[in-house]
Amino acid sequence: MKRSAQETASDYVGRQLDRIQVVLCGTSHSGNLGVVARAMKNMGLSRLVLVAPKAELDAQALSTAKHAADILHAARIEPDLSAALGDSVAVWATSARKRELQLPVFDARTAAQSICSDLARDGGVISILFGAERTGLTNQELASAQRLIEIPANPTYPVLNLGQAVQIVSYELFMAGLLGDGHAATVAGDVDEDPDWASMAELSAFETRLADALDRTAFFVRGAESAEEIAQNRQRLLSRVQILFRRARPTRNELAILHGMIRALAIEPPSLKNSRQAS
């Protein structure tokens, strides 16, 4: 996405950042909703999604937001991450704990540069996940992400509150968009390639189809001695498959190839079919 001759640098950056959505999971304090809205508006972000919020958009939230109350009024409220991320082509998650997800980890500045590079190439929505105040993102929520954002801080006290985390990431995004490659007009150079990433909804649909195909072949039964073990195998393996595909980030064309493979595997080969008929 290139800057037109009539656009100011700030307008150009705003047009890019409009495709980033900040996703808050399980926020419990209404004041934090207002703080996040202010942090977003300061840095040109406008899309806010609240997933299963425990806090309400009450007077405290609106008062804390001040002139960013419009972001709260426009916020989407969704029951789960699946609904929140359906149209996203990339999902990043903020976490102080890398855990065992084996996802690529970026500091906030490098992450912002990568996100802005994607914005310059692709027209889709990019989501950034922030967890609940006390617990952060759960392992299940982190499994929806493709990349992790880590905010470096003083190791003797590295804990940031929700508002601080959103402010820092938002600032880095704004600066990456404004100063990318030393020019406001380009973020990662003039990139003409459009990767056409598959959306989260499309990835989820493929993963469901793959799971169904594996169920039909009794894949999860192998080595299991009880129904409970089968269920555990299924959950563990499908969770790893989900992480694999989120990390790989396939395009729509690549996903279509994978769909074709599953479809072909479900069809009995003519040679096998003929041999059965002959017998």
CATH number where 154 lies: 3.40.1280.10
CA-CA-CA-CA dihedral for 82, 68, 59, 77, to nearest 10: -10
Say if residue 139 is in the same domain as residue 217: no
For residue 90, the surrounding DSSP H or E stretch is strand 88-94
Q: H helices within 18-133, ranges in order?
A: 30-42, 59-65, 69-73, 81-85, 108-121
Boundary (domain end) residue, out of 147, 182, 217: 182
- 208 located within any domain: yes
Q: In whole angstroms, give the CA distance from residue 208 to residue 82.
A: 13
* pLDDT for the residue numbered 98: 62
Say if residue 132 is in the same domain as residue 250: no
* pLDDT for the residue numbered 165: 97
Radius of gyration of the chain (CA): 22
For residue 50, the surrounding DSSP H or E stretch is strand 47-51
Say if residue 42 is in the same domain as residue 147: yes
Say if residue 42 is in the same domain as residue 163: yes
Q: In whole angstroms, give the CA distance from residue 30 to residue 52.
A: 13
Say if residue 233 is in the same domain as residue 176: no
Residue 100: give the domain boundaries: 9-182
Distance of CA 53 to the CA centre of its chain: 18
- 257 located within any domain: yes
Say if residue 141 is in the same domain as residue 27: yes
* pLDDT for the residue numbered 184: 37
- Which amino acid, one-letter code, is at 179? L
* Structure-token match 């998650």, residue found: 93
- 74 located within any domain: yes
- 1 located within any domain: no
Say if residue 43 is in the same domain as residue 140: yes
Tell me how far apart the terminal alpha carbons of the chain are, to the nearest angstrom. Answer: 62
Say if residue 138 is in the same domain as residue 212: no
C-alpha count within 13 angstroms, C-beta hemisphere, residue 97: 9
Q: What is the pLDDT of residues 171-229, one digit of tens each?
A: 999 999 887 643 433 333 334 455 788 888 888 899 899 999 888 888 888 888 898 88
For the chain, which residues score pLDDT lower than 70?
Answer: 1-12, 97-101, 180-194, 268-279
Instruction: List, edge to edge, every strand of the sheet that includes 105-107.
Output: 76-78, 47-51, 20-25, 125-130, 88-94, 147-150, 105-107
Give ∠ CA 101-208-243 in degrees, rounded to 5: 10
Say if residue 30 is in the same domain as residue 149: yes
Say if residue 63 is in the same domain as residue 163: yes
Say if residue 157 is in the same domain as residue 81: yes
- 195 located within any domain: no
* pLDDT for the residue numbered 96: 76
- Angle separating helix axes 108-121 and 9-17, nearest 10 degrees: 90
For residue 247, the surrounding DSSP H or E stretch is helix 227-248
- 31 located within any domain: yes
Structurally, the chain folds into a number of domains equal to 2
